Structure formats: structure tokens, C-alpha cells
């Protein structure tokens, strides 16, 4: 019997009181098993900008709980949680720390790129 690929929509609760929702599957890198979460894009609303789709992987020790959901419920959590792949603060810090002579980008608090 061939191995079945695991894939399921879910809400993943992480230590540190963080939650992320999306399509969950298994991922192996360097012989280590990780939990992969593919977060779908989130359309803009009247109050919030759109967010692009992205993927995050977590080690088993980072996960507190996984609640399996249907796709509609998982997408509802994606819209509610509005997780981003990298925070604006981290991006500004990374840009500030670029070596001299590297191309510089300007990020404005008035018009964030997300």
C-alpha cells in the first residue's frame, strides 16, 4: 500500500499564545519532520488591506494543539487572525541593518506596502 500524503485544513495553536490557520501538511527537511502550514491569501476589506499567501513550517515542539477544520472555517480564521509572513518591525530592522552600499528601500508608516 502506498503512503498517503497528509493534508488537512486546520487551526494550529503554537506556544507563546500564537495561532495560525491554513492547509496543514507534513514536510521533511534534513531528516527532520516539520508541520507545514500554507496560509491562503486574504482579500482586502473596507477596514483591512489584502494579505498575500505564504507558507510557514514549525517543529513539533512549537505546537500546542491542532484543530482540524473544514476549508470555510479555516479561511474564516485566516481573515480573523491576519497573520503576516514577516512583521513590519522586523522588515524595517532588516533594511536598516543592510551593509553600506546595498540598495536601500524606504518604508513609510503612512503607506505600508502590505
pLDDT in tens, 92-109: 777 777 777 666 556 555
Residue ranges per structural domain of the chain: 7-96
Rounded Cα gap, residues 56 and 81, in angstroms: 15
Rounded Cα gap, residues 102 and 87, in angstroms: 21
CATH of domain 7-96: 2.30.30
| Residue bearing the bigger pLDDT, 58 or 1 | 58
Could you tell me the pTM of the whole model?
0.72
Residue 5: Cβ within 10 Å count: 7
Amino acid at each position: 500500500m502506498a503512503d498517503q500524503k497528509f493534508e488537512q485544513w486546520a487551526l494550529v495553536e503554537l506556544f507563546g499564545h500564537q495561532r495560525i490557520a491554513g492547509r496543514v501538511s507534513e514536510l521533511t527537511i534534513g531528516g527532520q519532520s516539520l508541520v507545514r502550514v500554507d496560509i491562503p491569501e486574504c482579500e482586502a476589506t473596507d477596514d483591512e488591506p489584502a494579505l498575500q499567501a505564504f507558507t510557514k513550517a514549525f517543529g513539533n515542539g512549537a505546537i500546542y494543539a491542532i484543530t482540524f477544520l473544514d476549508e470555510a472555517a479555516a479561511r474564516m480564521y485566516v481573515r480573523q487572525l491576519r497573520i503576516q509572513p514577516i512583521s513590519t518591525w522586523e522588515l524595517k530592522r532588516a533594511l536598516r541593518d543592510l551593509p553600506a552600499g546595498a540598495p536601500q528601500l524606504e518604508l513609510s508608516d503612512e503607506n505600508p506596502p502590505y
